[in-house]
Structures are given as C-alpha cells and as structure tokens.
Structure 1
C-alpha cells in the first residue's frame, strides 16, 4: 500500500501543518485508507510527517497537542532562526541540521510499503521557508529521485502587503527550487486569502489561524481522494502540466460560512460552480484576466453525485488554450472544521487552474527585485552568510525564463509593467 509523507518547513509551514493534522484527526474515523498518512502501531496511529524549523518556537506550539501521537523523529529544529535571510537557511544554520532531518525522514519512510509522494508546506518569504526548503528538497531529490512526487503548497509574497522587507529576495532565490525540485506548486498569498475570507465570511477578526485553516482544507481534500475514495492522487496534478516546469496552480475555494450566520444556505450546483470559478474566490489573485491552460474541480461532499458539473455551462464554457475540458473529481467525505466559528458545510470545493495570467505576478516579483538589487539593498546580509553575488543574477534569470514560458503560451510578449504599476506600489 502506498503512503504520503508530509514535510512542514519554517514558521508558516509548521503552523499550516498543525492545522492540517488537527483536521486529519477529526476526519480519521471516516477514512478508508488510514495508513496512507499514518503508521499504525498496535491501536495507535502515528503521523508520517516531519516538522522542520531553525528554532523551536512554532514546533513547541505543535507539540503541546498531546491528542496527536507524533513520533520523536517528527520534529527537527536548530537553536536560532534564519532572521528572514535565505542564505542562513541554506548555507549556514540549515547545513547544521539537514542530515539529521534526512535521517528522520528515512527512518519513517522505511516503515512504509511504498512512498508515492511528499506533501510540502512552506512560505518562501521567510529565511527558513525559502533557504532550508531549498536545501532539504534538493537532498530529498537526490535520495528519492523523480519516482516519488513532491507536491508543494506554498505561500508566496503578496503583491501589496508584507511584514518582511527581504521577502522579495528570498522568493527570488526559491524560484529555481520550485521549478526543479517540486512536481507541482499550489500557490497562495496572505493578501488574497484575506480578501477571500472577507468576501465569504462576516468575521470581526481574522488572523493567521484562518489562513492556515484555509490551506489545510485544500490539502485535506487533495489527500482525501486517496483516503476516502481510494483514488490514486499521485497523477492528479501531473495531468494539469502541458510542459514540465509549468506546474504552478492557482486554487479557488468555496464556500466558507460563519457558524453565526443563521441565514446560510447551501448553493445549488449552478450557483456553486459560478461562485468558485469567480476571480474573487482565488487564493492567489492576479491583476490580469484568467487565461486557462488546464483546470480541475475537486468537489467535496459526503453524498456521491456522479453528474456534478458535467452539464454545467459555466464550467464547460471556460476557454482553454488546448481546448481541454475541466476535469472533475469528488472527495466523498464530510466537511470538517477545526475553527469553532466556522460552520461545517455539506458542500465545498477547490478549483485548481493552471493559468497563464500568473505571468503578471511573476513580472511584479521581478520588478520589485530589480529595484532593490539596483541599489544593492541588503546584499551584504546575504553575502556574509555564504551566498555568492552571482546567485542574485542566477535567481533573476530563472524567474525570467519562467516568465517567458508563460508569456509564450499566453500569446504575450514581455510587455512593460506600466499597467500593473498603476495599481501596485513597490
């Protein structure tokens, strides 16, 4: 029987993992393949997971939950954080613990019949999430090769908001990692997630727990194809990639409802598809209109609905470059919630799109990098941690190559950013 191994890296990745495993625990009794993400020892189920951070603050938060039977080798941490510097996670502090982490992974993988994928959560804005993710994933690539898929659920820098002045550099250095060491990247940014939560919920206060829950719901539905339906999800994202490195997907999620919304109602099939394919439901929003390369609707409901979406004109009329029809999957399970203020809806879904309009966000990232690097801002912080100055240019070239791939398939040229500059400040 095949299994998945989860890897949660850096502060954001660790807290997403914490939300995800709390959700898995609530779903556990309903699942058909419990050993897909757990190892069973006697009557106990132990998560197959590695939490990794360069300091132990967030990991201690996870360890406080005694209801989940984590193994001792599920936690890896150093003695100090990366100070939001990619090079500290890759070249200095990260190298001190990476071999220990690989050993922790190996010991857990040896208990599995067959490992089919790594599920990775991280944020490439921070030093650990970018730098140590790069280091660890490169080593996992060497040890496990291409036969074991590596699917990332990654927080990217937001377009207009940031609490980290170095996030642009960190993300730039991580682009090559996302291209070479991951088979798929499902993209999020905090600003877009806040907008979606504000649109769907009437809450007085929104914090990171709501964002982490949102990402966890999407990952749970994805792994739920195997856990509830016994469907091989290893190729779920592969069929959305016309070219190997064009594996960046934008998710949309619907529908969240507050437990105090007494007027809430379940959407009809037509209303639901129209709602989830709307631009405002995207968790990584682009300033340009959608240009679909491929799309997949992952629908989640306990009752089986074999005809869901097949005759819906909204879904069928989405224009795709290769004239593909959207694929439709159903995860036949209940919709659990770990946040008490959110209602457990009968019907939710995630709409994944491989969308050429994402090039506009890559161009924004490149423009911000160029303005910083032209003034050599903060370069000294990276060089003193072992990073060579040539890597700034290599990272920028890697992003430019990715821009060109999406621009070419979208029928666009590398146009100026004047139209984007009018709406976004750098």
Structure 2
C-alpha cells in the first residue's frame, strides 16, 4: 500500500502542519485508508511527518498536543532562527540540520510499503521556508528520484501586504526550487486568503489560525481522495499541468459559514459551481481575469454523486486554451472543522486552476526585485551568510524565463484568435 509523507518547514509551514494534523485527527475514525498518512504500531497511529524549523518556538507549540502521537523522529529544530534571510536558512544555520532532517525522513519512510509522494507546506517569504526548504527539497529529489512526487502547498508574498522587507529576495531565490524540484505548486498568499475569509464570514477578528485552516482544508480534501475513496490522487495535479514547468496552480475554496449563522442553506449544483469559479475567491489573486490552461473541481460531500458537475454549463463554458473540459473529483467524506466558530458544512469545494494570467504576478514580483536590487538594498545581508553575487542575477533570470513561458501561452492564443477572426472576415 502506498503512503504520503508530509513535511512542514519554517514557522508558517509548521503552523499549517499543526492545523492539518488536528484536522486529520478529527477525520480519523471516518478514514478508510488510515495507513496512507499514518504508521500503525499495535493500536496506535503515528503521523508520517517531519516538522522542521531552525528554532524551537513553533515546534514546541505542535508538541504540546499530546492527543496526536507524533514519533520522536517527527521533529527537527535548532536554537537559532534564520532572521528571515534565505542564505542563512540554506548555507549557514540551516546546513547543520539538513543531514538530521534527511535521516529522520529516511527512518520513517522505511516503515512504508511504498512512498507515493512528499507533501510540503512552507512560506517562501521567510528565511527557513525559502533557504532550508531549497536545500532539503533538492536533497530529497536526489535521494528519492522523480518517481516520488513532490507537491508543495506554498505561501508566496502578497501583492500589497507585507511584514518582511526581505521577502522579495527570499521568494525569488526560491523560484528555482519550485520550478525544478516540485511536480506541482499550490499557491497562496495571506492577503488573498484573508479577503476570501472576510467575504464569506462576518468575523470581528481574523488571525493566522483562520488562514491556516483554509490551507489545511484544501490539503485534507486532496489527500482525502486516497484516504476516503482510495483514488490515486496524484493524477489530480498530473492532469492539471500540461507542461512540466507550468505547474503553478491557484485554488479557490468555499463555502465557509459561522456556527451561529442560521441563514445558511445548501446551494444547488449550479449556484455552488458558479461561486467556486468566480475570480474573487481565488486564494492567490492575479490582477487580470483567469486564462485557464486546465482546471479541476474537487468537491467534498458525504453522499456520493457520480454525475456532479459533469454536465454543468458553468464548467463547460470556462475558457480554456486547449478546449479541455474540467475534471471533476469527489471526496466522499464529511466536512470537519477545527475552529469552534466555524460550521461543518454539508458540502465544500475546491476549484484548482492552472492559470496563465499568473504571469502578471510573476511580473510584479520581478519589478519589486528590480527596485530593491538596483540599489543593492540588503544584498550584503545575503552575501555575509554565504550567498554568491551571481545568484542574484540567476534567480532573476529564472523568474523572467518562467514569466515568459506563461506569457507565451497567452500571446500564442491571442495570435490564434486574431487569425481566426481575420479568416472569418
């Protein structure tokens, strides 16, 4: 039987993982394929996971939960953080934890029949999530090869909201990692998640637990295809990436409701799909309308419905570059919640879009980089921690190439449409 291994890196990645395993724990009794994410020893189920951070603050928060029986090999941490610097997480402080992290992963993988995929949560805005992740993911690809999928659920910098002046550098130094070593990247940014929560819920205060809950719900539904339905979930992201390098996927999630919201009602299929496919609830916002390379709808409901979404006109009329019909999957499970103020909905859904308009966000990221690097702002911080000067330009060139690949799809489509228009005339 195949299994997935979860890796949670850096402060943000660790807290995402904490919320996720609390959700898995609530779902445990209903799960049919428990060994997909757990190692069973006698009557105990131990998470197949590694939490890695360069300091121990967030790790201790996870370890305080004694209800979840983590193994001793599930935690790697040091005593000195990365100070939000990529090169510190990769070349200096982080390098001393890499071998221990790989060893702890190996010891857990050896208990599996077959390793199916690595599922990684991290934020590439921070030093550990960018630098330590780059070194670890690079080593995993070398040790386990391309047959073991690496799927990332990654926080990117927000377009307008920031609490870290170095996040632009960190994220662009990480672009090579996301491009070369991952099979898929599910993209989020805090500002977009916050806006979606604010749109769906009337909360007086939104904190990181609400944001992490949304990401946990998406990962849980994805792994739920295997845990509840015994469906090979790796096909979901494989089918949504028409080109190997263009594997950056934007999710939408809904609906959420407060526990005391007595006005909530179940939406019919058309209403629900229209809601999920609107641009405003994307969890990584692009300034222009979506231009879909490919899309997938994953809805979660206890009652099985093999015909859900198959003939829905909203899905059929979505504009795709290759006239591809969206794929539809169902996770046949109840919807559980960790946060007490949120209701357990009868139906939720995730709309995954491989969206070519993401080139606009890559372009914005590049412009922000250019403004910083033109003044050589903070460059000495990275060089002091072992980064070579040439890596600045290499990171920028990789981002520019990725932006060009996505823009080329749009330009080719626009040119084709113009030729078709001229032929009609």
Normalised to the residue count of structure 2, the TM-score between the two structures is: 0.97
Partner residue in 1 for 2:3: 3
Instruction: Tell me how far 1:281 sits from its aligned partner.
Output: 1.0
Q: Is 2:399 the partner of 1:403?
A: no
Corresponding residue SS for 2:194: helix
Spell out the pairing of 1:18-417 with structure 2 (5 A cutoff). 18-411=18-411
**CA distance in 2 between partners of 1:320 and 1:235 (Å):** 19
Report Cα offsets for 1:334-378 as digits up to 9, x if no partner.
Answer: 000000000000000000000000000000000000000000000
Report Cα offsets for 1:151-171 as digits up to 9, x if no partner.
Answer: 000000000000000000000
**CA distance in 1 between partners of 2:266 and 2:366 (Å):** 42
How many residues of Structure 1 are paired with residues of Structure 2 in the alignment? 413
Structure 2: gaps (5+ residues) = 414-425
**CA distance in 2 between partners of 1:358 and 1:260 (Å):** 37
Structure 1: gaps (5+ residues) = 414-426
Report Cα offsets for 1:212-259 as digits up to 9, x if no partner.
Answer: 000000000000000000001122101111110100000000100011
Once superposed, what is the RMSD of the aligned Cα atoms? 0.8
Instruction: Tell me how far 1:412 sits from its aligned partner.
Output: 7.1
Corresponding residue SS for 1:121: strand
Partner residue in 1 for 2:13: 13
Corresponding residue SS for 1:52: strand
Corresponding residue SS for 1:411: helix
Partner residue in 1 for 2:422: none
Corresponding residue SS for 1:14: helix
**CA distance in 2 between partners of 1:47 and 1:69 (Å):** 7
**CA distance in 1 between partners of 2:392 and 2:359 (Å):** 20
Report Cα offsets for 1:146-192 as digits up to 9, x if no partner.
Answer: 01000000000000000000000000000000001110000000000
Corresponding residue SS for 2:308: coil
Report Cα offsets for 1:382-423 as digits up to 9, x if no partner.
Answer: 00000001100000000000001000011179xxxxxxxxxx
**CA distance in 2 between partners of 1:112 and 1:354 (Å):** 32
Instruction: Tell me how far 1:267 sits from its aligned partner.
Output: 1.1
Partner residue in 1 for 2:418: none
Structure 1 runs of 4+ aligned residues shifted over 2 Å read none
**CA distance in 2 between partners of 1:140 and 1:64 (Å):** 29
Instruction: Tell me how far 1:266 sits from its aligned partner.
Output: 1.2
